[in-house]
């Protein structure tokens, strides 16, 4: 039995709290399976939390549960696809190499061309495969994470001006490592049909409180829209402060 509670915080009633990390990711995989019935475009984030999701997709579901989804990335480290730091690389090792997802379903970004050429190439692929509305791509689902500094995608608190971009993709830098990143912009993220924040663990609790309750405008995640299309998938420990 799934242990789930729906909370209403101000104008938002789409916060789902599950008893553990497995149940969070299992139910997100079920949402992907549901979207697959009619076909969908999905943009994934990196970090450690999606790795559990990918392994659940591999171990607890069938390839046919996801065969009509086109997978993109919300953001990517500008590294070679073989790198252990590559978000696509981690997805590939778990799902493509194990024949769960076909390569033809996947539209990765990685260090092959220059970063500007990579952005132009990916924007072209998005234009060819993702429905547009309001002059911007409109993904069926975007899965976001929440960094310990309040960043989401690769939109960081030291560069809030990047939030104003009218482009589809931009290049950014991690504020500490100075690593180059490519990221969807806030406007594209907010133009998606559905957004899920996937947040696991007690270390996320304070930042979740700052974003959801305090709406701290120094944090990029606070600029993601707050309406009935935005869901938060949390485990109990991540939700302890809300």
The reply to whether 240 falls in a domain is no
pTM of the model: 0.94
**CA pair distance 185, 78, nearest whole angstrom:** 16
The reply to whether 241 falls in a domain is no
**What residues make up the domain containing 22?**
5-235
Range with the poorest average pLDDT among 9-18, 46-55, 61-70: 9-18
Q: Are 87 and 45 in contact (CB under 8 A)?
A: yes
The reply to whether 242 falls in a domain is no
**CA pair distance 84, 82, nearest whole angstrom:** 7
The reply to whether 110 falls in a domain is yes
Residues 6+ apart with CB under 8 A from 2: 18, 19, 23, 27
Per-residue pLDDT tens for 115-147? 999 999 999 999 999 999 999 999 999 999 999
Average pLDDT over residues 149-159: 96
Per-residue pLDDT tens for 200-230? 999 999 999 999 999 999 999 999 999 999 9
Task: Domain count for the chain, please give it.
Answer: 1
pLDDT at 7 over 70: no
Give the pLDDT score at 87: 95
Confidence of residue 106 (pLDDT cuts 50, 70, 90): very high
Range with the poorest average pLDDT among 8-12, 153-157, 183-187, 206-210: 8-12
The share of the chain scoring above pLDDT 90, in percent, equals 90
Q: At 224, which CATH number?
A: 3.40.50.1360
**CA pair distance 156, 161, nearest whole angstrom:** 10
The reply to whether 104 falls in a domain is yes
**CA pair distance 102, 10, nearest whole angstrom:** 41
The reply to whether 216 falls in a domain is yes
Give the pLDDT score at 9: 54
**CA pair distance 147, 167, nearest whole angstrom:** 23
**72: nearest Cα among 10, 149, 138:** 138
């Amino acid at each position: 039995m799934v242990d789930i509670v729906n909370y209403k915080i101000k104008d938002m009633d789409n916060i789902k709290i599950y008893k553990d990390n497995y149940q969070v990711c299992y139910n997100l995989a079920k949402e992907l399976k549901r979207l697959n019935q009619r076909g969908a475009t999905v943009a994934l984030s990196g970090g450690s939390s999606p790795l559990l999701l990918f392994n659940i997709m591999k171990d607890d579901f069938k390839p046919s549960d996801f065969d009509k989804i086109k997978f993109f990335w919300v953001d990517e480290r500008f590294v070679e696809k073989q790198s252990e730091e590559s978000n696509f690389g981690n997805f590939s090792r778990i799902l493509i190499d194990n024949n769960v997802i076909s390569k033809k379903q996947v539209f990765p970004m990685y260090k092959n061309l220059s970063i500007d050429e990579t952005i132009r190439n990916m924007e072209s692929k998005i234009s060819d495969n993702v429905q547009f509305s309001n002059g911007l791509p409109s993904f069926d689902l975007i899965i976001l994470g929440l960094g310990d500094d309040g960043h989401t995608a690769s939109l960081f608190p030291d560069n809030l001006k990047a939030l104003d971009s009218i482009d589809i993709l931009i290049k950014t830098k991690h504020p500490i490592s100075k690593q180059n990143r490519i990221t969807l912009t806030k406007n594209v993220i907010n133009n998606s049909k559905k957004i899920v924040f996937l947040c696991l663990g007690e270390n996320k609790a304070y930042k979740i409180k700052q974003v959801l309750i305090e709406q701290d405008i120094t944090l990029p995640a606070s600029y993601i829209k707050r309406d009935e299309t935005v869901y938060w998938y949390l485990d109990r420990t991540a939700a302890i402060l809300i």
